[in-house]
Each structure stands twice: as structure tokens, then as C-alpha cells.
Amino acid sequence: MNFEINVTQILCAIAVAIIGATVRYFIPWLKSNTSEKVYNIIEMACSSGVYFAQQWWKQEDGETKKDKAMKHAEELLAQRGIIVDLGVLADCIEAELKKAKSDPSFNS
């Protein structure tokens, strides 16, 4: 009996196993981890926009403040290369505004 070991086939099998593991485990983990980080950045940008508008435009009406908050949040996100639909950003600003109104230091 003569057993020859073909190194090329062994290396190909190892490469396929590594690629399979990467596709199966690493890529979904990376996507979910990145999505969570992006979500947190969007949330912080909305919060910053709300506080920014409240601080700088205290005497303005609500719509003007909302526009200023959205513009500020949009600029912060653009600096990080994140593009968000304006409808989603408006909803995020509204949610952050509701949270901020429950903060006693918000209106001071």
C-alpha cells in the first residue's frame, strides 16, 4: 500500500473550512456589531441635536428648533460617513426630545 499525501488538497480543505467559518460566524457578528454601533452613534447625534437646539435657540418656536436639531444631527452623522433618511432622523429627534423633556436640567 502506497499512501501519497497531496498537500494541495489538504491546503484547499483547510482554506474552505476557514472561509466557511468566516462566512458562517464572523460576518454576521460583524454586521450585528456594526449595526449596534451605528445605531448608538445616530442616537447620540439626535440627543446632541436636541440639546444643541435648546441651548442656542431658546426663544425660537418648536419647528425651528426641530429643524436646527435635525441639521446639527445630520452634520454630526455626515462627519462620520453615516447617511440617515430624514424621516428616520425626525423620528429620532422627536424621541430624544421626549426623553429630554423628562430631564429637569433640559429647560434650565
**Contact call for residues 46 and 73 (beta carbons, < 8 A):** yes
- On whether residue 56 sits in a domain, the answer given is yes
- On whether residue 107 sits in a domain, the answer given is no
- On whether residue 20 sits in a domain, the answer given is yes
| SS3 annotation, 32-59 | HHHHHHHHHHHHHHHHHHHHHHHHHCCC
Overall domain count for the chain = 1
- On whether residue 1 sits in a domain, the answer given is no
- On whether residue 108 sits in a domain, the answer given is no
- On whether residue 42 sits in a domain, the answer given is yes
- On whether residue 67 sits in a domain, the answer given is yes
pTM, two decimal places: 0.64
User: 37-95 pLDDT, tens per residue?
Assistant: 888 898 899 999 988 888 887 777 778 888 888 999 999 999 999 888 888 888 888 88
Query: Which of these, 2, 20, 1, lies nearest to 12 by C-alpha position?
Result: 20
**Contact call for residues 68 and 52 (beta carbons, < 8 A):** yes
- On whether residue 2 sits in a domain, the answer given is no
The answer, yes or no, to whether residue 31 has pLDDT greater than 70, is no
The answer, yes or no, to whether residue 9 has pLDDT greater than 60, is yes
Task: Identify the domain containing residue 21 by its residue range.
Answer: 7-101
Binned at pLDDT 50, 70 and 90, residue 99 comes out as confident
Q: What count of residues does the chain have?
A: 108
| pLDDT at residue 12 in the model | 80
